[in-house]
Amino acid sequence: GFFPFGALFNFLFSIPPISTVIGFFFKKGKKKVVKIVKKGKKTSTKPTVSRALIEMSDTTKVQEQENKSKLVEQATAKGDLSYSYWAGKSGTVTTSQAPEPKKLTEEEAAKIHQETEKSKSTTGASAWNHAGTFEEKNCSAWAKTRLTSLLGEISMSGVNLTEPKITSGDANVFVVRGKKRFGFEFEFELKWSTEAGEEATLIEGTIRVQEFSSDDPEDQVVDISVSGSTRSRAALEAEAIKRVSPIRSKLLETNRQLLNDLKDK
């Protein structure tokens, strides 16, 4: 008869180590099945925008354009679209015409003037500056005219002073925290002439003054020069300069006078 191969295989597969080896060879001999997948269209990864949002954005742009057109029309149109308004006392707005100007009575004008003068006397500041904070008033033009006049009034024995001329400088009135302060500083010159020696030789020259200041009057710089100076008459010139030297004390008096006059401004 036939050998019972089927029973032999069943017996061998029942033993674990042998069944594993035999199964490996049987598995290796099987054909590998490859699954073919049909290539389709790629899906876009770009984010999509909702149609509703697009329509909303378009609507907003249209509304903005319409509003802009209306504003332009109102600003350029005439007639009913053109109007003006005036602010009321309580902050209200009215489209009525502007109030007609009203002339002040003599009593009202006098009262306003009185209040203005009172404000000046108490704080030293202008009427608009009720708080008395910093304020500056330029008095340079007035001070130059006044200084020129004061220089022309200086009198010195045996010396003739002429042609006062302001070359530079300014003057101001300050209001600081309700208190007035005054200040000026100028540079100027004037001509001088005198006679010197037994023969009364005429000597002429120029006085130039710098740092003529209200802050430090004693620091004024006074330079006395001789016109056409020569060595042959050096002694006469020295005598003439000595005669003109008291101008320094005269200028200190002029400084004080100018400051007092400025305080009245």
72-103: per-residue pLDDT in tens? Answer: 565 555 554 455 555 555 555 555 555 677 77
CATH number of the structural domain spanning residue 185: 3.15.10.20
- Alpha-carbon distance of 212 to 225, in angstroms, equals 18
Residue 94 domain-assigned (yes or no):
no
Tell whether 219 is covered by a domain: yes
Cα–chain center distance at 196: 59
The pLDDT value given to residue 103 = 77
On whether residue 70 sits in a domain, the answer given is no
Nearest CA to 148 among 68, 71, 261? 261
pLDDT (0 to 100) of residue 237:
96
CA distances to 7, 9, 21, 22 from 26, in Å? 18, 13, 9, 6
Report if residue 181 sits inside a domain.
yes
Domain extent for 151: 136-263
* Residues contacting residue 201 through CB under 8 Å, at least 6 positions apart: 195, 233, 236
Would residue 193 count as lying in a domain? yes
Q: Is residue 236 part of a domain?
A: yes
For residue 166, give both structure tokens.
């302001």
Q: What pLDDT is attached to residue 102?
A: 75
What is the rounded average pLDDT of the residues 235-260?
Answer: 96
Overall pTM > 0.85: no
Residue 128 binned pLDDT confidence (cut-offs 50, 70, 90)? very low
- Count of domains in the chain? 1
pLDDT for the residue numbered 112: 75
Q: Indicate whether 95 belongs to any domain.
A: no
Distance CA 130, CA 120 (A): 9
C-alpha 251/C-alpha 205 separation (Å) is 17
Task: Report yes or no on 33 lying in a domain.
Answer: no
Whether residue 238 has pLDDT greater than 50: yes
